[in-house]
Amino acid sequence: MIHQHKYDANGKQLCCTQEEKINKKSDKNSGCCSAHDEQEHSDEDGHNHEHNANESTLKMFLPAIISLVLLLVAIGLDNYFQQSWFTKYVRLSWYIVAYLPVGIPVLKEAFESITKGEFFSEFLLMCIATLGAFAIGEYPEGVAVMLFYTIGEVFQTLAVSRAKSNIKSLLDQRPDEVSILVNNLVQTVKAADVSIGTIIQLKSGEKLGLDGELISEKASFNTAALTGESKPDTKVKGETVLAGMINGTTIAQVKVTTAYNDSKLSKILEMVQNATAQKAPTELFIRKFAKIYTPIVVFLAIAICLLPYFFVANYDFNDWLYRALVFLVISCPCALVISIPLGYFGGIGAASKNGILFKGSNFLDSIANIQNVVMDKTGTMTEGVFMVQEVIISNEFEREEILKMVNALESQSNHPVATAIHNHVGAIDPSIELKNVEEIAGHGLKAEINGKELHVGNFKLMDKFSIPYDIDPDSIVYTLIAIAYDKKFAGYLTIADLIKEDAQLTIDKLKSMGVKTTMLSGDKNTVVQFVANKLGISNAFGDLLPEDKVNKVNEIKAKNETVAFVGDGVNDAPVVALSTVGIAMGGLGSDATIETADVVIQDDKPSKIPMAINIGKQTRKIVWQNITLAFVVKGIVLILGAGGLATMWEAVFADVGVALLAILNAVRIQKMKF
């Protein structure tokens, strides 16, 4: 029996947990989907339109080809090459043989649906219509309906498979086995069994299976699996390396710091595999609509067949039964039930291809309606890599000596500013002895050196310890690091962060789409205003705490406007969760923000923000085109069918033809350039 997914009222998938999706790659006997099975599209009725995805295309079309050949021969013998032997039971038997290759699978599906209590399925409609056609002697039409229905099913299978291919490719990014060092001997073990602290040895070109810390002096990694960037990223001893990174030309050793299921790549795979668990409101509506719509048309078909007996003088049962059967074929909701989810799959697939991960089709709908994009500065619109711009030291102090002391004290912090100072000054002087080191939250660091106090931080630190200074911090655009030694102001450093190369393009595109932009940052307000003015962002606020960002977003939401917040740091997680759509810079961003976000940008490029909005808009457009097409064509042909003006051939077009047109329209999104 084919597994049927269960959803709650909000469209969230209740079965097939993320752990099962990640770990069970081919557990065909379990009641839930495996990692690859989850990628297969399953309708509400349990019918799987990708159950043959691994078979060859020829094998998938073979039943239809056999049926088509037999049907064409029969039509030829009926109309063009009439033979005396091709009559009565011979003729009936021939059409039955033509019917069986395409009819048996659908009859089986109908039977299974009935045993599960789902009487009014599309399969039952097809069975009633085709068997009814046989009952009134319309053999060619009975075979043709089932034949074209089967061809439609195969095309649906191929379309779903293609729509999912971009997502499926991510499933192969994480190796199942790794080489570890045990007593200086290399052993190959399953990555899932490796414990924290184990040493992994990576050969040239080998992919890392778990997150860890580089213990080799230096190594170069291709980070395409995580960030979409294939250019090498050089790491030095002690730096973090992530699962999915590919080692360069030398052998490297990595100490495992994170369990297999907690790695960054595992989280990305969870997002991808869970993307179909959240259904868009349109998709949920169509599923509910189909459940009500199908039984109604069955009863209408019965009424079309029987009620005219009481009102029509020359009532012909076969004529009205034929009309009812035509009505049934037309009414099949395939075009809606298949093409709408396929449209969303296509949107998610197109986004994945461009390095954007949507955690559900509902977020494609939500992002299409975004009116405001609120963004963090550091790591979102800027590189997040700080560099020392200026060093201003008072003549009263020895410049080199002060910088060495500052470098030694900053080595106690892992803040990006400390890294910038270390990169500027160089190696730490081991002769400098630090005592009573203290980090003052939101201010900076203090310590004793040679019996005198050294203060390094912002100018609030100077004010806190009543150290006078003779400059106006607000007059300097860059981030300032103030220095005081022996209770005297010794000078300052200016630190700057580079604006990302595609940041300007991002703002320009958002403006052209009519989306308002706002920048919120905990950085110095003058720095925030400088970056905002350079990029053309009209609303910008600096010196904000996490709760201040939340308040700013609440102010926008109070105007009944939708908000997308884009961030990358741990402190962005609360406001990401609050926004209509939370977007995380997921290349090497905070785990908390990535897990909270609805959309993850893998390569940290802000230009993917307007691209994500555009993908959402195009997906919604295609979905509504399909809904309109299906309803209009079916509505017209239903009326014609009930009035006896449409034959079974028009019915086939209204069902299978419209479904195929909708599918072709849905897969268009995968070829679009955004």
Just list the catalytic residues.
Answer: 376
d(CA 360, CA 63): 35
Render the burial of 228-258: b for 16+ CB within 10 Å, e for the rest: bbeeebebeeeeebbbbbbbbeeebbbebeb
The answer to whether the CB of 286 falls within 8 A of the CB of 366 is no
Which residues lie closer than 8 Å to 647 by C-beta, 6 or more apart? 141, 326
- The per-residue DSSP string of 100-114 comes to HHHHHHHHHHHHHHH
Q: Are 340 and 625 in contact (CB under 8 A)?
A: no
- Residue entry with tokens 């039955």: 96
User: Do 593 and 261 touch, CB atoms closer than 8 A?
Assistant: no
Joined together, the tokens standing for residue 378 give 């550091």
Q: Coil, strand, or helix at residue 341?
A: helix
**Side chain identity, residue 18:** Q
Specify the residue for token string 């106006």: 472
Residue type, 632: V
Question: Rounded CA gap, 181 and 199, in Å?
Answer: 6
The b/e string for 495-507 (b: 16+ C-beta within 10 A; e otherwise) is bbbebbeebbebb
Q: What is the phi/psi pair of residue 286, to 5°?
A: -65, -40
Under a CB-based contact definition with an 8 Å cutoff, are residues 144 and 653 in contact?
A: no
**Distance from C-alpha of 570 to C-alpha of 559, rounded to nearest angstrom:** 27
Distance CA 317, CA 303 (A): 12
From CA 404, how far away is CA 407, in angstroms rounded? Answer: 5
For the chain, counts of helices (H) and of strands (E):
22, 22
